[in-house]
């Protein structure tokens, strides 16, 4: 039985409630409850008064044994003449008297040990409670952190989606506003324009003069027969083309009220077509059309690619490994442009010609009539372009170099593409 349990048991044997005992001792009922539950100890004065109120000794409260009652039993044995019993148990009797003398000390020791045990139990409970609380708090913190991280990620994703939607809306609005602005500007230009309609077309091509025929027509909103109308061709500033003077051609009024002009245009890439109107009092000008890539329609475009040759030099001997040169030709789309007549390849070491190869019209365009390993690719020809491969016969060949030759192979390959008008395009590769 613990100290607190003994107080509770003795209180109940005395027929007292916690409130009644507290009133007699002059303490609160909560203090009695803490004594009985072992959460606190009464003071020495309270312990003495508690013994009086419960009609027991302090020792009986502390240890459950009454030292005064034990001493009285021994004295009674002595007074009854039980000397023989005492003599036989002299040593035990002496121990009993010693026990009586030391009972209070044992009681205090037992109480202290009990309280120490209770304190350790309370500490264990507190530690377990604190540990459990810490674990619960950590778990809740992790759960809360995970939750808020998910919420944060969700919020960030939502923000990014909103930003993306805003960006898309902004792009859409800018495109709409740009289109609307263009329509308004175009409408204003049409209102301010002197023309109700205009167009141009490309006619014949003169390869000798390298000029193309340009046909321009325009319809004025209002006109008089005495008006003088001319069309003007002027290269754009950033096109890189230059002309000594703009090309000007007087327009002729047709029966249907259309002004028409035909004139030859030099090979310029980008230019504008304008109109000049002189009504005898004022001269008005207006840009009709912007033309881009005009001269490209009259040029055969050549591209050269190389599956790089491998070279080795030993004892003045140049040995050539695998490799070919691919020449891709994009014929001009306009009619009348001279076709490609010959594609040739020359390989030099320094200034010494080592090898040359050429393909003429039969090799280039006669691939359907005879087998030709160097003939252009049929699929490429179907698209207008074709690729020729030259230099394949060089694989494994050796050449003797002059006594004095520069460090390295010093190889130069020249590709020349010539059309039937004698115009040449040349590409050079060096190793």
| pLDDT (0 to 100) of residue 260 | 92
Q: What angle do CA 228, 216, 207 make, to 5 degrees?
A: 120
Q: What is the predicted pLDDT for the residue at 173?
A: 86
Q: Alpha-carbon torsion 108, 114, 118, 124, what sign?
A: positive
Looking at the structure, do residues 340 and 225 belong to the same domain, yes or no?
A: no
* Residue where a domain terminates, one of 238, 264, 296: 296
Buried b (16+ CB within 10 A) or exposed e, 82-106: eeeebeeeeeebeebeebbeebbee
pLDDT tens-digit profile of 185-202?
Answer: 777 766 667 788 888 887
Shared-domain flag, residues 199 and 186: no
Determine contact, residues 61/8, Cβ cutoff 8 Å.
no
**Residue-number span of the structural domain to which 215 is assigned:** 195-296
- 274 located within any domain: yes
In this prediction, residue 307 has a pLDDT band, given cuts at 50, 70 and 90, of low
β-strand 352-359 against 340-349: which pairing, if any? antiparallel
322 in the same domain as 262: no
- The verdict on 84 and 181 lying in the same domain is yes
Q: 365-376, pLDDT tens digit by residue? A: 654 443 444 444
Question: Positive or negative CA dihedral for 43, 45, 46, 48?
Answer: positive
The 10s digit of each residue's pLDDT in 18-69 is 898 989 889 998 989 888 888 888 888 888 888 888 888 888 887 776 555 5
The verdict on residue 7 lying in a domain is no
310 and 269 housed in the same domain = no
Specify whether 288 is located in the same domain as 344.
no
Same domain, 384 and 292: no
Answer whether 246's CB lies under 8 Å from 284's CB. no
Mean pLDDT across 256-260: 88
Weakest mean pLDDT among 276-290, 322-336, 359-373, 380-394: 359-373
Residue predicted with more confidence, 114 or 326: 326
Assigned token pair, 267: 């090979």
Whether 25 maps to a domain, the answer reads no
Closest CA to 331 of 405, 376, 383: 383
Average pLDDT of the chain to the nearest whole number: 77
**Single residue among 275, 296, 317 that ends a domain in this structure:** 296
Total domains in the fold of the chain:
3
- Say what percent of the chain tops pLDDT 90: 3
Residue 330 lies in a domain: yes
Confidence of residue 97 (pLDDT cuts 50, 70, 90): very low
With H, G, I as helix, E, B as strand and everything else as coil, classify residue 29.
Answer: helix
pLDDT at 90: 42
Residue 411 tokens read as 């190889």
Residues in the chain: 431
Looking up residue 407, the CATH number of its domain turns out to be 2.60.40
Q: Which candidate, 317, 330, 313, 318, places its Cα nearest to that of 385?
A: 330
Same domain for 237 and 111: no
Token digits of residue 1 = 């039985």
Integer CA distances (angstroms), 263 to 27, 211, 216, 219, 290, in order? 127, 10, 9, 18, 17
Using alpha carbons, select from 52, 58, 60, 61 the residue that is nearest to residue 26: 52
Domain stops at, among 272, 296, 320: 296
Give residue 217's pLDDT: 92
Residue with tokens 């141009």: 200
Confidence of residue 103 (pLDDT cuts 50, 70, 90): very low
Q: Between the CA of residue 252 and those of 202, 216, 234, 277, what are the distances in Å?
A: 18, 11, 20, 12
């Amino acid at each position: 039985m613990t100290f607190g349990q003994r107080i509770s048991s003795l209180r109940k044997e005395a027929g007292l409630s916690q409130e009644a005992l507290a009133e007699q001792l002059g303490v609160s009922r909560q203090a009695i409850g803490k004594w009985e539950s072992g959460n606190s100890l009464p003071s020495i004065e309270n312990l003495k008064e508690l013994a009086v109120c419960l009609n027991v000794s302090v020792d009986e409260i502390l240890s459950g044994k009454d030292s005064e009652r034990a001493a009285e039993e021994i004295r009674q044995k002595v007074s009854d003449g039980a000397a023989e019993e005492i003599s036989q148990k002299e040593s035990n009797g002496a121990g009993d008297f010693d026990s009586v003398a030391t009972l209070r000390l044992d009681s205090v020791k037992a109480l202290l040990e009990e309280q120490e045990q209770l304190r350790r139990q309370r500490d264990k409970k507190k530690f377990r409670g604190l540990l459990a609380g810490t674990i619960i708090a950590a778990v809740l913190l992790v759960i809360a952190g995970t939750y808020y991280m998910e919420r944060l990620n969700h919020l960030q994703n939502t923000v990014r989606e909103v930003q993306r939607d805003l960006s898309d809306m902004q792009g859409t609005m800018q495109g709409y506003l740009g289109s609307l602005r263009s329509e308004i500007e175009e409408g204003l230009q049409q209102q301010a324009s002197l023309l109700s309609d205009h167009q141009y077309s490309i006619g014949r091509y003169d390869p000798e003069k390298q000029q193309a025929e340009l046909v321009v027509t325009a319809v004025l909103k209002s006109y008089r027969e005495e008006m003088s109308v001319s069309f003007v061709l002027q290269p754009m500033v950033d096109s890189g083309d230059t002309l000594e003077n703009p090309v000007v051609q007087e327009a002729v009024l047709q029966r249907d009220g259309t002004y028409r002009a035909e004139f030859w245009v030099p090979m310029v890439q980008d230019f504008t077509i304008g109109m000049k109107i002189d009504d005898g009092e004022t001269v008005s000008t207006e840009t009709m059309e912007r033309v881009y890539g005009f001269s490209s329609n009259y040029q055969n475009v050549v591209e050269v690619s190389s599956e790089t040759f491998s070279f080795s030099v030993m004892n003045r001997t140049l040995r050539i490994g695998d490799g070919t040169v691919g020449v891709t030709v994009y014929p001009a789309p306009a009619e009348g442009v001279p076709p490609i007549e010959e594609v040739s390849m020359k390989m030099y070491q320094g200034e010494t010609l080592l090898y040359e190869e050429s393909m003429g019209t039969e090799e280039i365009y006669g691939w359907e009539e005879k087998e030709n390993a160097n003939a252009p690719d049929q699929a490429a020809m179907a698209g207008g372009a074709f690729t020729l491969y030259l230099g394949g016969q060089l694989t494994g060949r050796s050449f003797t170099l002059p006594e004095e030759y520069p460090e390295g192979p010093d190889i130069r390959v020249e590709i020349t593409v010539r059309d039937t008008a004698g115009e040449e395009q040349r590409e050079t590769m060096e190793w």
